[in-house]
């Protein structure tokens, strides 16, 4: 993998001393003689490392280090500063505290230039790997592996947040609980791979019928929850019917088979006072009323308290 380096120094001979050992070692080097050229090179190339003379400053007195570390587009560049021999420990510490990866003191030798730049690049790579692992872990914590939707824990956390926002701003909020009809029969007759294909196809259909501000999660198994912010009862009824119809049109394919499915939907609009648990209980009761009505149906929740119907 090619390592890209911007070398910025106002003295041509000093700049050559910095750039030469890097080029000899196979690094891709771009040179800059002043602040404007160095900044432009960093934005254009976004190098792995910027080897910059401490004397490179803007006309207004700003430093390239501060400019790079304040800009999210180039923040990740590892900056190695080349400082004069008389630099004090406190000054070097200050540069490191402001984001410099390393401080190289003049006069420099070729071996030290190569070692410091290689070390800075290695550190940058390790940091990026750790950040990537953290992001992947965060995704695993809130994402359902099969469908890519929010998992149960996360979607319920989001619902609690939406209720808090709706209460604070006096906005409507609705939810729709969606359950795939006779899903066990699909698994038993066609296998779990076919069942997974059906769930993925249904997920796509549901997403296509929801707005960007709506949120969809998988509660588990064949059950989904749609969160509908700024959605009053009349609109929630229309959305729920639309979701039912969208699934009715789905055709999933697995093992050369074409499979279809339907869903039952129970929806509820927040009453302006209840917590997430009570709202979900009302939607769950409505869902089972839709099941009792013959499935492939939509039912609205009644206002007031409700208890979960035992699952059979």
Q: Please identify, among 107, 140, 173, the residue that sits at the C-terminal boundary of a domain.
A: 140
The residue segments making up the domain with residue 106 are 4-140
Q: For 114-159, how does the pLDDT look when each residue is reduced to its tens digit (9 = 90+)? A: 999 999 999 888 888 887 776 666 666 788 889 999 999 999 999 9
Q: For 268-294, how does the pLDDT look when each residue is reduced to its tens digit (9 = 90+)? A: 999 999 999 999 999 999 999 999 999
Q: Please identify, among 140, 161, 187, the residue that sits at the C-terminal boundary of a domain.
A: 140
Q: Yes or no: say if 80 and 50 are a contact pair by the CB < 8 Å rule.
A: yes
Q: Please identify, among 140, 166, 185, the residue that sits at the C-terminal boundary of a domain.
A: 140
Active-site residue, selected from the candidate residues 17, 222, 223, 289: 222
pLDDT beyond 60 at 80: yes
Task: Check residue 312 and give its pLDDT.
Answer: 32
| Active site annotation includes 138 | no
Task: Check residue 129 and give its pLDDT.
Answer: 84
19 occurs within a structural domain: yes
Q: If you average pLDDT over residues 93-105, what whole number do you get?
A: 92
Q: If you average pLDDT over residues 72-84, what whole number do you get?
A: 92
Provide, rounded to the nearest whole percent, the portion of the chain with pLDDT above 70.
95
Identify whether residues 125 and 238 lie together within a single domain: no
Identify whether residues 8 and 108 lie together within a single domain: yes
pLDDT beyond 50 at 242: yes
pLDDT beyond 50 at 103: yes
Identify whether residues 37 and 162 lie together within a single domain: no
Work out the pLDDT band at 305, boundaries 50, 70, 90: very low
Q: If you average pLDDT over residues 64-87, what whole number do you get?
A: 91
200 occurs within a structural domain: yes
Task: Check residue 223 and give its pLDDT.
Answer: 96
Any idea what the CATH number is for the domain that residue 265 is in?
Answer: 3.30.70.270
Domains held by the chain: number: 2
Task: Check residue 54 and give its pLDDT.
Answer: 86
Q: For 10-46, how does the pLDDT look when each residue is reduced to its tens digit (9 = 90+)? A: 999 999 999 999 999 999 999 999 999 999 999 999 9
26 occurs within a structural domain: yes
Angle at 110 between CA 100 and CA 116, to 5 degrees: 25
Any idea what the CATH number is for the domain that residue 64 is in?
Answer: 3.40.50.2300
Identify whether residues 200 and 72 lie together within a single domain: no
């Amino acid at each position: 993998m090619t390592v890209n380096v911007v070398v910025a120094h106002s003295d041509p001979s000093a700049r050559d001393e910095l750039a030469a050992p890097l080029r000899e070692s196979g690094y891709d080097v771009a040179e800059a003689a002043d602040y404007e050229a160095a900044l432009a090179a960093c934005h254009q190339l976004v190098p792995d490392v910027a080897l910059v003379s401490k004397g490179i400053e803007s006309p207004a007195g700003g430093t390239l280090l501060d400019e790079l570390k304040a800009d999210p587009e180039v923040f990740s560049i590892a900056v190695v500063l080349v400082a004069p021999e008389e630099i004090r420990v406190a000054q070097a510490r200050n540069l490191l505290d402001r984001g410099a990866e390393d401080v190289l003191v003049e006069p420099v030798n070729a071996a030290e230039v190569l070692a410091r730049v290689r070390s800075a690049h290695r550190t940058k790579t390790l940091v990026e790997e750790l950040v990537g692992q953290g992001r992947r872990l965060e995704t695993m914590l809130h994402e359902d592996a099969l469908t890519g939707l929010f998992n149960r824990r996360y979607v319920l956390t989001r619902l609690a947040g939406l209720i808090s926002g709706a209460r604070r701003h006096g906005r409507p909020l609705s939810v729709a609980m969606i359950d795939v009809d006779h899903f066990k029969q699909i698994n038993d007759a066609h296998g779990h791979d076919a069942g997974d294909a059906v769930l993925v196809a249904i997920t796509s259909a549901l997403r296509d019928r929801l707005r960007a501000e709506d949120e969809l999660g998988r509660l588990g198994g064949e059950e989904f929850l749609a969160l509908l912010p700024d959605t009053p009862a009349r609109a929630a009824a229309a959305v729920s019917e639309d979701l039912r119809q969208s699934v009715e049109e789905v055709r999933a394919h697995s093992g050369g088979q074409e499979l279809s499915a339907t869903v039952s939907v129970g929806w509820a609009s927040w009453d302006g006072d209840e917590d997430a648990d009570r709202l979900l209980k009302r939607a769950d009761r409505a869902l089972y009323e839709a099941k009792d009505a013959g499935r492939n149906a939509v039912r609205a929740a009644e206002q007031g308290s409700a208890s979960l119907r035992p699952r059979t």
